[in-house]
Amino acid sequence: MAAALQLPAELWLQVFSFLSWRDKLSMRCTCSHFRHLVDKSRPLWRGFSVVLRHFSRYNRPFWRSLAQRHVGSVSLRSGKKKDLKQLSTWLPALDALRLDDWREGGVDELKQFRQLQHLSVTSCSTPLKNPDFLLSLRHQLTQLSLCNIQLTCPAPHLLAAVSQLTRLTSLQLHHDGSLRFPTLSGVLSHLTELRHLSWTMITYKTLSHDFFSPAHHRAGDTVLQLSDLQLLNYDAMVTEETLQPLSRLRSLSIFHLYSVPGPTCHLRTWLTSLQQLCSLSIHGGHPLAVYADCLPSSLLSLTLCVDLQPEDLQLVSIRAPHLEHLHLEPWSSSSNLVRLLPQLFPHLRTLRIRHQHVSDEDFLCLQQLQQLHTLEVLDSYYRPDPTDPSWVVYQPSPRLLQLSADLQRRTSHRVRVVTSSHRDPLTCDCV
């Protein structure tokens, strides 16, 4: 150990940079020297988020270690006003904060965070009666997410508060249908820097022709800067005229309200009007066969959580021949789909699938994807006892681990197999 400590600090930091955050925490517990190196190196913790709850458990050394690492992203679970005050004392330079299951009505203490840029408020057990707390952040917020919260204020009041956040590049507003906005034109008129929008559509049956058109726009300036649009609980009729301001859109995600939302597939209108899409994500709705012939040839990324058949994928490969990223979660068994992927989508770089019902032979055939570098398995759990379906182990099964090792060996470890995904603590659970 004495010899190891003689190595330059820069070398150790380079080694630590390859470790997961769990392994970094393990290394800092081995000795005071490593603890000093790990805590004092800001680059090691860049992008690191911490989840905090039960503030009475945290002592001064704990807060000091977070401050030394310059932690800039925090998810606060079941917090109170006094917790925000303590948080602002130790981490005044916080730039990203999620309030999850907020227990008190007001959040005026947020004004203490002078560098806060990303704010997420979700699953509040107490209604937020007044959105004016946002006004103190209007010169700094670039990302705002309001998800699954009770807002007892009128919709125009909320709209007025959000409209003053003119620096926003990302806005998420997910609700149960209690907020009713006739159109989004009022929001989009003021948020000229907005690039990402995620909106609940449960209250809309038909989108008006000016739904996405910024109000009071200049002549010839009807195109929005939006590049990424997510629509939740969608089942609304739309026209090509409505979608004209979205010509710069590059990513579209549709989460349908019903599994089969009606006799008319509104998605066809979206796809025929937005022929420059690079990324498309479809969850629910009509079977893929209904709109597969409308898929833009520009697609590089595709997520399909729908009903589909092998022949549907063949049409997708014709419509989107340059696909690089694919996420498949068919409603029926995927056992007869995986074997087709190397022939249909030879340019795939990342792939997300479920391995249940997929044979070992079909799983290993993915080695034929010469450009593949990441395979993510979405169902990393198993039932050790077939006679006891209630006994579930939420870890990769021995069979999956062996298959993953075999695939990596056959591809000379070119393919990285991921069996457990880690969500960003700041993102909501709706998408």
Between CA 23 and CA 352 the distance in angstroms is 26
Handedness of CA 67, 69, 72, 74 (dihedral sign): negative
- What pLDDT shows up at residue 332? 74
DSSP secondary structure letter of residue 395: S
**Helices and strands (H, E) in the chain, number of each type:** 14, 15
Structure tokens given for 29: 């517990």
Domain 1-46 class in CATH: mainly alpha
Instruction: For strands 416-418 and 228-234, give the pairing.
Output: unpaired
β-bridge partners, 234: 256
The mean pLDDT value of the chain amounts to: 88
Residue 280 is predicted with a pLDDT of 98
Token pair 């699953």 is at which residue? Answer: 123
Closest CA to 227 of 202, 256, 193: 193
Burial class (CB in 10 A: 0-12, 13-18, 19+), 213: buried
Beta strand residue intervals within 235-300, DSSP E: 251-256, 279-283
Torsions phi, psi of 115, nearest 5?
A: -115, 10
pTM given for the model? 0.88
Task: Please tell me whether residue 156 adopts helix, strand or coil conformation.
Answer: helix
Query: Quick one: 169 exposed, middle or buried, by C-beta within 10 A (0-12, 13-18, 19+)?
Result: middle
pLDDT at residue number 28: 80
Q: Tell me which residues of the chain have a pLDDT lower than 70.
A: 1-5, 104-106, 125, 215-222, 333-335, 421
Q: pLDDT value at position 152?
A: 78
